[in-house]
Amino acid sequence: MALFELSAGAALRVLRAVGVVAIAIFARGFFILYQKRMQFRRLVAKHGLDVLPHSLIFGHLISVGMAMAKHPADLNGQVSPLVLARDHPELAKDGVLYIDLWPISYQMLAVFHPDMMAQFCQENSQLKHEQVRWEFYPLTKNKDLVTTDGAQWKRWRSVFNPGFSTQNIMSLVPSFVEEVLVFKRYLEGIATTGEVVALETQGMKATCDIIGRAVLGKSLGIQTTPDNPLFKALKENIAWLIPEWAPRQWGKMINPLRRLSMWRNNAIMRRELRSLIEEQYKNSGHIEGPKTIVNLAIRTYVKENGQTSMGDVIDPEFVDATIEHIKMFLFAGHDTTASTLSFAYYSLHENPEIMAKVRAEHDAVFGADPSQAAYMISKTPALLNQLPLTLAVVRETLRMYPPVGSVRAGSPDYFLTNPETGRQYPTDNLMMFSCSYAMQRDATYWADPDTFNPERWLTKDGEPAQLRKNTWRPFELGPRSCIGQELAMTELKLILALTLRELDIVPMYAPTGERFFGALMYQAHVSGELTAHPKGGMPVIVKKRVLS
């Protein structure tokens, strides 16, 4: 009995201690919440800012939630500034919105005036926001071009720039053709079975294999190898990353297996990539013909380190950094390009008159027999530069569906200035979001912004049209623009050139399904992914075209 009383007393003391700790944690959290809300309110009051109705408890969570509730529940968060701007044009008239979603996200200054975006991305490129480093540290330890700043970023950008140049990418096109033909054969197989598939899934595998060819000079075999260890490890680690603190992320935050799983997957990727990098180093001195991105990076790295020739042993620092850079190249390049490809197929299917013109352009450049196009492009890659309408399709797709925007850090002494009104906007303690989606759907800069119209990119004689400065920025503009944009544009033109004339890619969305601005296919939040993806991975059937 005494033992029972002792145990009960001990348990009661433990419960009291737990209760005290819980109250302390709650009080601390509430105090931080109060500080954040008052910090935002003081900024608004000091500068006379016009903002959405702001709650001391919920900030703008209710206002934004009510606006987004009018649209599909899986709509990607990057479109929210556009939704808010259209719902509240009186607040968005200067091209900015102040949004307080803490603690779900950082307090934000969403910017969608092209010249104001240029101020912090081009004219005075600001540092990346800490959210980017926090998000990607588990994947790359912040040893990549996306998360680094200053001298480290400048050094590695100069190392990798030669490999991503237009001239070098064009020299690698014949190897890209081989991977696109694998993708095409997959589509032909789907046409035979008649099954419905998520097109983006195979598109991501194809773009990963193309990146492998560009970076390492070898096929990674992701399209043809079930459960490819490199791809599997990459996708699992992407799924573990935490881009925000919304409730849907809480399970990952508290999962005790997250760190172990990411460590194991990073080890797999290091093992797979290390041998390929060492092979490139071993052969880099006597490779003739096209040079891979890593091969040119090795040469630049050696030269910048003051060496006249490569030693017998590769520098461990170069290997370590290159592995992390390649992981980011694979992440940043594979799903954004595959998503854009999916939206291009969808948009062309929804606009058959444009599709007919694109196919006619391919006939004119490659001849009436589409089976010869792969050979012709491999022999003369510059033919891809003779496809102005195809390029316009890619540009228009990226205008309507940019995969991601850039985020930069605000500071107490840094202000954005509206060039028309001269009004200054503070950035202190804010994450500046270069919202390309909202700006590229703004009727101020684009006629009929929700209409897919590739011909807006061309003059009547087929030459490129001159559009307003700073208004097309799916790869961002300025010194921190995407290093892989030439690779991505080349991939997309190549895939369209080798598939459109022989295959019909038919989206299989229910006609009664939810729409966003009239479209059944929109940028959605997809579980396990970070960037905006097509709803449902773009379910399609494929049909072989009967050619006359």
CATH number where 167 lies? 1.10.630.10
Domain presence at residue 39: no
Nearest residue to 230 via CA among 246, 260, 209, 203 = 209
Mean pLDDT of the chain: 93
Which structural domain, as residue segments, surrounds residue 272? 49-544
Band the pLDDT of 26: cuts 50, 70, 90. low
Distances (CA, A) of 103 to 41, 214, 246: 15, 40, 8
Is 482 within any annotated ligand binding site? yes
Residue 314 pLDDT = 82
Instruction: Note whether residue 13 is domain-resident.
Output: no
Helix, strand, coil percentages, rounded to 5, for the chain: 55, 10, 35
The tens digit of pLDDT for each residue in 54-92 reads: 999 999 999 999 999 999 999 999 999 999 999 999 999
Report the distance separating Cα 504 and Cα 352, nearest Å: 11
pTM passes above 0.85: yes
What's the pLDDT score for residue 465?
74
Q: What is the pLDDT of residues 98-115, one digit of tens each?
A: 999 999 999 999 999 999
Per residue in 350-392, pLDDT (tens digit) is: 999 999 999 999 999 999 999 999 999 999 999 999 999 999 9
- What is 256-301 written as a DSSP string? TTHHHHHHHHHHHHHHHHHHHHHHHHHHGGG--SS--HHHHHHHHH
Report if residue 168 sits inside a domain: yes
DSSP codes joined into one string, 22-86 = HHHHHHHHHHHHHHHHHHHHHHHHHHT---S--BTTTBTHHHHHHHHTTS-TTB-GGGHHHHHHH
pLDDT given at position 286: 67
What percent of the chain lies above the pLDDT cut of 90?
Answer: 83
Query: Model confidence over 148-183: pLDDT tens digits?
Result: 999 999 999 999 999 999 999 999 999 999 999 999
Average pLDDT over residues 342-347: 98
Answer whether residue 108 is part of any domain.
yes
pLDDT of residue 27: 74
DSSP 244: S
Look at 247 and 498; give whichever has higher pLDDT.
498
In a domain, 266, yes or no: yes
Whether residue 289 has pLDDT greater than 70: no
With respect to residue 156, please indicate whether it lies within any of the assigned structural domains.
yes
Q: How many domains does the chain have?
A: 1
Pairing of strands 431-434, 108-111: parallel
**Which of 132, 135, 208, 154 has the alpha carbon at shortest distance from 483?**
154
For the residues 529-534, what does the mean pLDDT come to? Answer: 92
pLDDT band, very low/low/confident/very high, at 3 (cuts 50, 70, 90)? very low
Question: pLDDT tens digits for 297-335?
Answer: 988 888 877 665 566 678 889 999 999 999 999 999 888
- Which has more pLDDT, 353 or 245? 353
Query: With 70 as the cut, is the pLDDT of residue 524 above it?
Result: yes
Return d(Cα 363, Cα 529) in angstroms, integer. Answer: 37
Distances (CA, A) of 90 to 47, 51, 97, 250, 329: 17, 10, 11, 35, 40
Residue 152 lies in a domain: yes
Residue 16 falls within a domain, yes or no? no
Asked if residue 476 has pLDDT above 80, the reply is yes
